[in-house]
Amino acid sequence: MRPVIPESHPRYFSLMTREKLVEGFRKGIVVPEGLIAHGRGEAFDYIFGERTRDFAVRAQRAAVALMLLSRKPVISVNGNAAALVAEELAEFSEVLKVPLEVNVFHWSRERVERIAEFLMEKGCKNVLFAGDAVIEGIEHARRIVDSRGIYSADTVMVMLEDGDRCEILRKSGKKVVAIDLNPLSRTARMADVTVVNNVTRAVPEMVELAREMRRMNREELERIVKEYDNDATLREALKAIASLGASKVP
Ligand code: ATP
Ligand code: MG
C-alpha cells in the first residue's frame, strides 16, 4: 500500500521525491544503490535548507552559458535523474538543442533500454543509448558510451555522478558541468561548473535560464563563463554548512 502524503506535510516535497525514486525502482529504472545515493544527497539538501542558494544560482547561469557556447554538448542521464526529472530534462534538451545520453554505473542492456524508453515516454526526443564506444581509463560500466554523444562531446553535463568518471572526462579534455549536492564529493571538486543544488530544482531553473540566455550573443556568454569561479562556489557552499554551527539550535 502506498502512503497518502498530505500536501500540508512539512516534508511533502522531499517525501514525494522519495516516492518517485521508489516508483522508478519498481519499474527497473532505479537500482537499490541509487536509493542510497539519494540519501546522501538529501542529507545535504536538508542542511542547505532545501532551497536554491546564491552559489547555485551563479553556477546554474555559468553552466547554461557553457552549454550554449559548446560545439557539441551532451547531457548524461542515469536512473535517478530519469526517475526524478525526465520531463524537465526533455524541455532542457529541447531548448538547448542538446541530446540526452543514458549512462549508468549498474549497466545492463535491458536497463539502459528501459531508461531510454521511459525518457521518450516523458517527451525526450533526442535520446542516445547505442553504447557503441568506450572511454579508456574507466574500469566500470560508465565507460560504455555513445559515439555520437559523450564519446565525441566537448562538454558533458552530469548529475548524481561518480568522481572517477568525472576525472577521466576532464582528463580527456572535456568540460564538465555537474549537479551535485555534496560540495565535498570528487565530482563536485573535479567539475568545471558545479551546481550544488537538488536536480529537482536545478534542472527546471536551468530550463528557464536557457530560454532567456539563448538570445545572448557569444561575448555575453563568454563573459559569464570567464567571470565564474568554481572554487568560490564550493567555498561558499562549505561556508553555508559551517555557518549552521554558529546559529542557535531552535
Ligand atoms: P564522488 O564519487 O563524486 O566522490 P560520492 O561517492 O559522494 O561522490 P556517488 O554515490 O558516487 O557519491 O554519487 C551520488 C552523488 O549525487 C552524491 O554526491 C550525492 O550527494 C549526489 N546526489 C544525490 N541525490 C541528489 C539529488 N537529488 N540532487 C543532486 N545531487 C544528488
Ligand atoms: Mg562515488
Does ligand 1 lie within 6 Å of residue 160's CB atom? yes
Of the listed ligands, the closest to the CA of 161 is 1
Q: What is the pLDDT of residues 20-38, one digit of tens each?
A: 999 999 999 999 999 999 9
Q: Is pTM beyond 0.85 here?
A: yes
In this structure, the number of other CB atoms found within 10 A of the CB of residue 204 comes to 16
The confidence score (pLDDT) of residue 175 equals: 98
Let me know if domain 54-243 sits in CATH 3.40.50.12640.
yes
Does ligand 1 lie within 6 Å of residue 38's CB atom? yes
Instruction: Please give the distance, rounded to the nearest whole angstrom, from the Cα atom of residue 163 to the centre of ligand 2.
Output: 5
Q: What is the pLDDT of residues 171-221, one digit of tens each?
A: 999 999 999 999 999 999 999 999 999 999 999 999 999 999 999 999 999
* Cα–Cα distance list, 84 to 25, 36, 146, 158, 192 (Å): 11, 15, 23, 14, 24
Does ligand 1 lie within 6 Å of residue 190's CB atom? no
Q: What is the pLDDT of residues 51-91, one digit of tens each?
A: 999 999 999 999 999 999 999 999 999 999 999 999 999 99
Comparing CA positions, the residue from 107, 205, 92 lying closest to residue 157 is 92
* Ligand 1 atom closest to the CA of 197, numbered from 1: 29
Do 179 and 56 form a contact (C-beta atoms < 8 A)?
no
Domain ranges for the chain: 54-243
Residue of the CA atom closest to atom 7 of ligand 1: 185
